[in-house]
């Protein structure tokens, strides 16, 4: 119990010094609390780089507004961990919402790409049409072109692409959708 009180007293002292913009106090508070904060964030978001960003955002909020700490509501460490937790949960919710929107906007036919790859090749049989399609593909941003190339020319499913590229499945699906829309717009005049 005494050790906890001493630790909390140190944290509160560092926070008081932050009111005077003491950079050493900020570094001290960061050194004391950041490892636990990062472990919490990583447990929620499951990606180290995102966990680091969340911890940095939380500590920057402390630097900007150390007065927001209210001693009667708990320890400095629990206050910091609460900020990290809220930011991490918000990020997960945003990502999940984005994934659901992306999945809902992708036509059902794209889910079955491996079956349609041969049809695409047969439909684009003429050399001129192939050149136009290749040109439209080359105009896409790299990330969209890479996904479509893996899908249509290597016959990979979106799940396989996500596994190979270490991208979230929702990101692969949204890149597919955006790339297909751009391709469709570029190839509008090609339809007979």
Q: What's the whole-number mean pLDDT along residues 172-183?
A: 88
What's the pLDDT at 41?
94
End-to-end CA distance of the chain: 80
What's the pLDDT at 148?
85
**Residue, of 117 and 33, whose pLDDT is higher:** 33
What's the pLDDT at 13?
93
CATH number of 2-102: 1.10.1740.10
| Nearest to 187, CA basis, from 131, 145, 146, 108 | 131
Q: Quick check: helix, strand or coil at residue 89?
A: helix
Pick the CATH number of 109-190 from 1.10.10.10, 3.60.21.10, 3.40.225.10, 3.10.580.10: 1.10.10.10
Least confident of 13-27, 53-67, 84-98, 151-165: 151-165
What's the pLDDT at 132?
76
Least confident of 54-58, 81-85, 154-158: 154-158
Judged against a pLDDT cut of 80, whether residue 121 lies above it is answered with no
What's the pLDDT at 60?
95
Q: Which residues contact 189 (CB under 8 A, 6 or more apart)?
A: none
Domain residue limits, the chain: 2-102, 109-190
Dist CA 73 CA 35 (whole Å):
22
Q: What's the whole-number mean pLDDT along residues 159-176?
A: 90
């Amino acid at each position: 119990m005494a050790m906890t009180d001493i630790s909390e007293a140190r944290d509160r002292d560092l926070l008081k010094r932050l009111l005077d913009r003491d950079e050493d106090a900020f570094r001290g508070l960061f050194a004391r609390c950041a490892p636990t904060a990062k472990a919490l964030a990583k447990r929620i978001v499951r990606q180290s780089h995102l966990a680091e960003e969340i911890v940095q955002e939380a500590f920057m909020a402390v630097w900007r507004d150390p007065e927001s700490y209210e001693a009667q509501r708990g320890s400095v460490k629990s206050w910091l961990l609460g900020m990290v937790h809220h930011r991490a949960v918000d990020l997960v919710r945003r990502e999940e919402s984005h994934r659901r929107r992306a999945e809902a906007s992708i036509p059902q036919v794209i889910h079955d790409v491996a079956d349609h790859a041969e049809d695409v090749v047969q439909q684009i049989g003429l050399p001129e049409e192939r050149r136009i399609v290749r040109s439209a593909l080359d105009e896409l941003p790299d990330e969209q072109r890479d996904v479509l190339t893996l899908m249509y020319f290597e016959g990979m499913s979106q799940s396989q692409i996500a596994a190979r590229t270490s991208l979230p499945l929702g990101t692969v699906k949204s890149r597919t959708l955006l790339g297909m829309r751009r391709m469709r717009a570029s190839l509008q005049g090609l339809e007979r």
